[in-house]
C-alpha cells in the first residue's frame, strides 16, 4: 500500500477513535441519587467494553469503508494498532483530563485523535516508503523483444516426445 494511503487511513482511524470516544462517553444512562450523570464509564464492565470496543469499531469501520468506496485495501494490523495506540496515548488521557464537556473541548479531543492517527501511522508509512517498490533507472522494466513467428511442420507426439521439423521461415 502507498505511504500516502497509510497516512490517510491513519488519520481517518484516529478521527473515528476520537469521535467515538466523545460521543459514546457522553451518552447519559441515568443519574445517581446525588444528581450526577451516569455514563457508560460509570461501571467497570462498561468502561472495559469502551476501551476494547472503540478502537476495534473504528479500525473495522475504516477497513469496511475504504473497501466499500474502492479507495484502498488497508491492513487490519495497521488499523488496529494505530487505533489502540491513538486511543491510549492522546485520547484516553485527554478525555479523563478534560476540564469540561464544552464543544471546543470535545472538538480538541477529536483533533487529538487525528493527530495521534498521523503520529502512529508514521512508522507504517516510513516502512512502506523505504521498503516499497522502487523505480530505479539502473533496472530496465521493459520486456525483451518478442521472437518472430515459428512454424512447426510435420509434428508427431509419441510418448510425450515431440518430433518434427521446426523452422523460423514461413512458406
pLDDT in tens, 2-56: 889 999 999 999 999 999 999 998 888 888 888 888 888 888 888 899 999 999 9
Rounded to whole angstroms, the maximal C-alpha distance in the chain is: 102
Strand segments, DSSP code E, in the chain are 30-31, 37-38, 151-158, 161-167
Specify whether the CB–CB gap between 114 and 108 falls below 8 A: no
pLDDT in tens, 118-156: 999 999 999 989 987 665 444 444 555 555 666 667 777
Amino acid at each position: 500500500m502507498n505511504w500516502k494511503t497509510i497516512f490517510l487511513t491513519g488519520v481517518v482511524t484516529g478521527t473515528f477513535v476520537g469521535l467515538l470516544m466523545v460521543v459514546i462517553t457522553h451518552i447519559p444512562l441515568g443519574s445517581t441519587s446525588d444528581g450526577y450523570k451516569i455514563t457508560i464509564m460509570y461501571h467497570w464492565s462498561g468502561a472495559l467494553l469502551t476501551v476494547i470496543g472503540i478502537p476495534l469499531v473504528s479500525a473495522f469501520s475504516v477497513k469496511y469503508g475504504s473497501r466499500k468506496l474502492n479507495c484502498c485495501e488497508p491492513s487490519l494490523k495497521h488499523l488496529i494498532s494505530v487505533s489502540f495506540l491513538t486511543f491510549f496515548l492522546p485520547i484516553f488521557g485527554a478525555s479523563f483530563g478534560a476540564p469540561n464537556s464544552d464543544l471546543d473541548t470535545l472538538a480538541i479531543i477529536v483533533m487529538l485523535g487525528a493527530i495521534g492517527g498521523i503520529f502512529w501511522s508514521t512508522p507504517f508509512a516510513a516502512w512502506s516508503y523505504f521498503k516499497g517498490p522502487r523505480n530505479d533507472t539502473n533496472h530496465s522494466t521493459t520486456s525483451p523483444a518478442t521472437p518472430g513467428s515459428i512454424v512447426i511442420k510435420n509434428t508427431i507426439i509419441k510418448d510425450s516426445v515431440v518430433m518434427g521439423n521446426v523452422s523460423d521461415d514461413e512458406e
